[in-house]
Amino acid sequence: MEIRPTTDKDLDVFVDTLHAAFGLFPETPVEGGGLWWSALETDRCLLALTEDGRPVGTAATHSFELTLPGGTLVPAPGVTAVGVLPSHRRQGVLSAMMRHQLAELRASGEFLSVLLASEATIYGRFGYGPATCTAQLTVPRHRAAFAAPRARAAADAPAADASAAGSDNGSVEVLRRAECGEILEEVYDRYRRAQPGSLSRPHRWWALRAGQPPISPAPRYIAVHRDADGVPDGYASYSIESGTLTVDETIATDDAVFTALARFVLGHDLVTEVVFKHVLPDHPLRRQLADFRAGEVSGLMDWLWVRLLDVPRALTARGWFMDGELVLDIDDPFLGEHDRYLLTVRDGKADCVPTDRDPDLSLDIRDLGSVYLGGTAPSTLVRAGHVRAHRPGAAALADALFRAERPPHCLHWF
Ligand SMILES: CC(C)(COP(=O)(O)OP(=O)(O)OC[C@H]1O[C@@H](n2cnc3c(N)ncnc32)[C@H](O)[C@@H]1OP(=O)(O)O)[C@@H](O)C(=O)NCCC(=O)NCCS
């Protein structure tokens, strides 16, 4: 088996092999007409070939930036376009590609990688853990009344309270997707820089219309929210069919903007229900409704998977929100590595060094990937039997330490 990068000359072979692995045809547009693979970066695509030169497997990475807890932006190769021909499955082709890819990423200085999984059973063995979740929220319009916000306004309210839901001085305008110009790209970029777990959307995605709505050319209405000065600070991309208004994506640079957009779509005439796709399972919107049961959460699933390639660099890159000390004993069976680190957090910054001290927690690298962005409580993995806590209180301390300033969320599809 040979694994090698593609060149401009064999990108067609790559695309054909990938589509054959999924039983699809490259010329068939995905939802709404976007050719998602047109955003692939030729120099980051791998082909697996048999001894006689037949292409049988594909894998690639996109050059994304990931927002970590605390707002640090780090390079995040987004693994994509993974496929093996049906005739060559379960013979180790994917395993060989993963090994090759992880070694290359490490050699080029990356300390983590991310992916979305077609099936949740594939990537754990390669050290990836589910780190963010997504869901959809369905609200029947006749139960969509909002409760009055109960937080008392304080005369000396700190600036952070300015984003509290409800205090909206902005406006909403409905545009056709084609009329939006650069608005969506700019608003998304502001949003993702402040949202842990989110990914950048490189300009080529927007320019090529490669992706799912609202990136794709699918016809959509866009409710654009503007602040009091007229600057766009949020949008909801939606379409209506058979009385259901479906919002593909709600991007808001603060909570009040999300609320304003939610009020807007929930107030739409001739609609019986509104489906908000790609929201956090515990989105505050449910609690803003007078009837807590009105918002029905469904389609809860993993979204972004994280694989750490350099634990000290990864742990020192993110922000932390309380002081503490933990000894982590980490097993990485796929790469055949086993390390123990002392993680010390002081004033929002971590130090992470090898140690011989007794461990507080023993965990697999995939579980560290799951807790890294603050979206999975380490104690949940202890209770599931995947992480071992060596002393009372260790799991609770880990829960408090790893928590992010807000739950991580990723809604970019790739
Ligand atoms: C998923 C896919 C790439 C796996 O490729 P592969 O070459 O068959 O994988 P490997 O032979 O290297 O398998 C490695 C291990 O993973 C397991 N595995 C692979 N795919 C799996 C799946 N879909 N579900 C459960 N286990 C799977 C294998 O059984 C094997 O286990 P073992 O080491 O205990 O024997 C291939 O089945 C495929 O192309 N599927 C359709 C496209 C797809 O879903 N791509 C992923 C996009 S995110």
pLDDT tens string 104-134: 999 999 999 999 999 999 999 999 999 999 9
Nearest CA owner, ligand 1 atom 44: 118
Distance of CA 344 to the CA centre of its chain: 27
Q: What is the pLDDT of residue 158?
A: 58
pLDDT at res. 25: 84
**Distance, CA 28 to ligand 1 centroid (Å)?**
24
> Which residues is 140 bridged to in the sheet?
273
3-state helix/strand/coil string of 292-358: HHHCEEEEEEECCEEEECCHHHHHHHCCCCCCEEEEEEEEECCCCEEEEEEEEEECCEEEEEECCCC
Q: Please determine, for residue 153, whether its predicted confidence score (pLDDT) is greater than 90.
A: no
- Average pLDDT of the segment spanning 267-275: 97
Pocket probe mutation, ligand 1, options 3, 14, 99, 122, max atoms within 8 Å of Cβ: 122
Residue 159 has pLDDT above 60, yes or no: no
- pLDDT, position 162: 47
* Residue nearest atom 19 in ligand 1 by C-alpha distance: 122
Name the pTM for this structure: 0.96
Strand partners, 342: 327, 353
* pLDDT tens digits, 173-188: 999 999 999 999 999 9
Q: Are 163 and 284 in contact (CB under 8 A)?
A: no
Residue 208, H or E segment: helix 203-208
Judge contact between 22 and 38, C-beta under 8 A: no
Q: How far apart are CA 211 and CA 152, in angstroms?
A: 42
Residue with structure tokens 């259901």? Answer: 244
Residue corresponding to tokens 């380490």:
378
With vertex at residue 305, the alpha carbon angle to CA 299 and CA 308, rounded to the nearest 5 degrees, is 165
The pLDDT, as a whole number, for residue 36 is 78
**Measuring from each residue's beta carbon to the nearest atom of ligand 1, which residues come in under 6 Å?**
21-22, 82-84, 89-95, 117-119, 121-122, 125
Q: What is the mean pLDDT of residues 338-361?
A: 98
Closest atom of ligand 1 to 118 CA is: 48
70 contact partners, CB below 8 Å, separation of at least 6: 196, 318, 319, 320, 321, 348, 404, 405
Q: What is the dihedral of CA 181, 184, 186, 189, to 10 degrees?
A: -150
What residue's CA is closest to ligand 1, atom 21? 122
For 306-339, write each residue's pLDDT tens digit.
Answer: 999 999 999 999 999 999 999 999 999 999 999 9
Residue 147: what pLDDT?
97
- Average the pLDDT over each of 142-146, 161-165, 169-173, 382-386 and give the range with the smallest value: 161-165
For ligand 1, the distance from its centroid to the CA atom of residue 75, given in whole angstroms, is: 27
Question: Whose CA is closest to atom 9 on ligand 1?
Answer: 94
| 205 Rama class: left (phi>0) / alpha (psi -120 to 50) / beta | alpha
CA of 365 to the centre of ligand 1 (A): 20
Measured in Å, residue 125 CA sits from the centre of ligand 1 at 10
Q: Which of 16, 94, 125, 301 to mutate to test the pocket of ligand 1 (most atoms within 8 A of CB)?
A: 94
Average pLDDT over residues 393-410: 98
Phi and psi (nearest 5°) for 89?
A: -75, 160
Cα 380 to averaged position of ligand 1 atoms, centre (Å): 27
Domains and CATH numbers, the chain: 2-110 (3.40.630.30), 134-301 (3.40.630.30), 311-402 (3.30.1050.10)
Centroid of ligand 1 to alpha carbon of 93 (angstroms): 8
pLDDT of residue 152: 82
Distance 98 CA to ligand 1 centre (A): 11
Q: Return the residue whose CA atom lies nearest to atom 5 of ligand 1.
A: 94
Mean of the per-residue pLDDT values for the chain? Answer: 95
Q: What is the pLDDT of residue 11?
A: 87
- Token pair of 301, please? 């699933």
